[in-house]
Every structure is written in structure tokens, then in C-alpha cells.
A and B are shown apart, each in its own frame.
Chain A
Amino acid sequence: NAGVTQTPKFRVLKTGQSMTLLCAQDMNHEYMYWYRQDPGMGLRLIHYSVGEGTTAKGEVPDGYNVSRLKKQNFLLGLESAAPSQTSVYFCASSYLARIYEQYFGPGTRLTVT
């Protein structure tokens, strides 16, 4: 039981490049989330999904897109990276009835130069 996994762990991009972060969970959770964590800002929700094929915007969705084609996977895309998107990105998942008990992945450290 791996829990929540994220790939890659680290990535450096140049301004304007694109990339996709992959999140996978093996707990059969309905809900999945993408957060970014910046010093002094805490965790901020980017997008989330309440089930396969459905996504919704969080607090800071601009510049990001997501897809959830399979229940166990949640992808976060950056179409044209900007230095302001330098951050640590966390994926999380939870059961529908316990959205407060989120299980987090190990994070992806992204640097945009």
C-alpha cells in the first residue's frame, strides 16, 4: 500500500516551458487535491476533484489545469511556466465522507527560472 505518490520529486523549468505533475493514490479515495506551499503562505488549494472526470477550481487556479481520467490518478499541468509558480506542490486524497482527513504525497519541488 503506497498511499499517495507524486512524480517527479524535483523539476527545474525555464519560463514558458510546460510540464505535467502526476499524482497517484491506491486507497480508492473519491476526492483528490492539488496544493502549493510557499514560505509564510501555508498550503493553498489549486484545484480538486470529487470523482473521475470531474474537477473544480480552488483558491489559486490561474495558470494551472488538471485532469482526472482515472479514479486513482490526478494530473496537474502548467502550460506556460512562470517564476511565480516556483513552489512545492502537494497532492492529497480523501474519502468523500472525511474530506478533512487528507492523505498527502511527498511533494514536488518546482523551480522556474
Chain B
Amino acid sequence: EDQVTQSPEALRLQEGESSSLNCSYTVSGLRGLFWYRQDPGKGPEFLFTLYSAGEEKEKERLKATLTKKESFLHITAPKPEDSATYLCAVQAGNAGNMLTFGGGTRLMVKP
């Protein structure tokens, strides 16, 4: 069974304090790993796609990396507007058109 586990469940940072969110996965033949951002009361919004170990993607203060067992979302010098829940999802080789989502990490950045 495909599994995606995100840690920590919640993270409180001061503005400017860099940190990383973790997404570990157990799937049969990873086809891709994806990061989404979800603001309170809204639907998730697509951020990044990673396909192979060693790959990195960047967007503003966010950088996503991928290894054979996990992915990290690094947040450099976060601002309060980065506060959101970050979701990780995977597409497994035997899952057809379905994504499996992790439980998310709720990030709170205080000014």
C-alpha cells in the first residue's frame, strides 16, 4: 500500500528563521512527487513537480528536493505570508491516474 507521511504536523517559525518540511514515502515505482500549498478555507494550489532523486525545484523562498525515500521543502527566510499548510502527494507506478496525499504540515510564521 502506498504511504505518504509528512512531518512535523505543525511548525512555528519566526520571520526570517529558515527550516525544512519533510515528506517520506513508500510507493511501488514512484512516477512523481508533488508539493501543494493550502491556505485556510481554500483548496490546495500546485507548487512543484519532482520526478527523480537529486532533482530540485525553486520558487521564491521555497526549494523542493527529492531523494529515493523522501522529499524536503526548504523555506529560506520565511515571511508571514508563507503561513499555510503544505501538502505532499505522490503518483505511484501502479496507481494509474490517482495521487496519494500526505496529511500536511501546517506552517505558521510569526512577524
Contact = CB atoms under 8 A, between A and B. Distances in A.
Contacts of B34: 100-101
Contacts of A4: 43
Interface in A31-51: 31, 40-45, 48, 50
A101 B99 CA distance: 10
Size range of the chain B interface in the assembly: 20 to 34
B44 A42 contact: no
Given A42-B87, A106-B41, A101 B49 contact: yes
Contacts of A44: 101
Interface residues of A, number: 24
B78 interface: no
Interface in A53-92: 56, 58-59, 90, 92
Contacts of B44: 43, 90, 102, 104
The interface residues of chain A, by DSSP majority, are classed as strand
A105 B87 CA distance: 16
Contact of A43 (B41, B46, B101): B101
Contacts of A12: none
B17 interface: no
Nearest to A45: B98
B99 A45 contact: yes
Given A43-B87, A100-B32, A101-B49, A48 B97 contact: yes
Contact of A100 (B9, B43, B49): B49
B99 A99 contact: yes
A50 B102 contact: no
A106 B42 contact: yes
A7 B104 CA distance: 25
26 contacts: A41-B103, A42-B4, A42-B87, A42-B101, A42-B104, A43-B89, A43-B101, A44-B101, A45-B99, A48-B97, A48-B98, A56-B97, A59-B98, A59-B100, A99-B99, A100-B32, A100-B34, A100-B91, A100-B99, A102-B44, A102-B46, A102-B99, A104-B42, A104-B43, A106-B42, A107-B43
